[in-house]
């Protein structure tokens, strides 16, 4: 057998998969183009959310805090995936794997402590945060409102 025949024999399933995937995409795009409506109107191009027309401005600005919290969530969620994979192989990894996982968790906890310390998880800016002072409590049983 020639090398070209060997390559085709080895990768035929992948080639069939790619051809079917592209064929399916072409079929769906062509079907949508042929069966879709041709009407162009102002109302057709208005944005909507889940079938409901939006009220007010659709281009609102969100605080960067939302994006930071989303990134922190992804980081710590990926950590959970790594720990799950580690937990399924705990018997094979032994104490060395346990120590490595402990170091991994400690590094992530150090990162979390750092984020809390710099205020990355605080929603209000530092100038708007209210510092609550403790009020001294009198332990005497006398009425402070006596006249």
For 111-140, the pLDDT digits (tens) are: 889 988 988 777 776 665 555 455 555 555
pLDDT tens-place string over residues 56-85: 776 778 777 788 888 888 888 888 888 888
Q: How confident is the model at residue 48 (pLDDT cuts 50, 70, 90)?
A: low
The H-or-E segment that residue 79 falls in is helix 64-88
Average pLDDT, the chain: 79
**Side-chain half-sphere CA neighbours of 24 within 13 A:** 6
Distance CA 97, CA 44 (A): 58
| pLDDT at residue 86, as a whole number | 87
Residue 66: strand pairing partners: none
Q: Could you tell me what percent of the chain has a pLDDT over 90?
A: 21
Is the predicted pLDDT of residue 89 greater than 60, yes or no?
yes
Two tokens, residue 36? 């879709």
pLDDT in the model for residue 20: 98
């Amino acid at each position: 057998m020639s090398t070209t025949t060997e390559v085709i024999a080895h990768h035929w399933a992948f080639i069939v998969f790619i051809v079917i995937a592209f064929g399916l995409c072409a079929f769906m795009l062509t079907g949508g183009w042929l069966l879709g409506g041709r009407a162009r109107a102002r109302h057709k191009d208005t944005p909507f959310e889940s079938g409901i027309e939006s009220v007010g401005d659709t281009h609102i600005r969100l605080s960067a805090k939302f994006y930071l919290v989303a990134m922190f969530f992804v980081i710590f969620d990926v950590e959970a995936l790594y720990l799950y994979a580690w937990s399924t192989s705990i018997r094979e990894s032994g104490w060395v794997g346990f120590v490595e996982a402990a170091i991994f968790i400690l590094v992530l906890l150090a990162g979390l402590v750092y984020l809390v310390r710099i205020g990355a998880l605080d929603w209000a800016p530092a100038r708007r945060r209210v510092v609550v002072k403790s009020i001294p409590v009198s332990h005497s049983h006398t009425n402070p409102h006596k006249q």
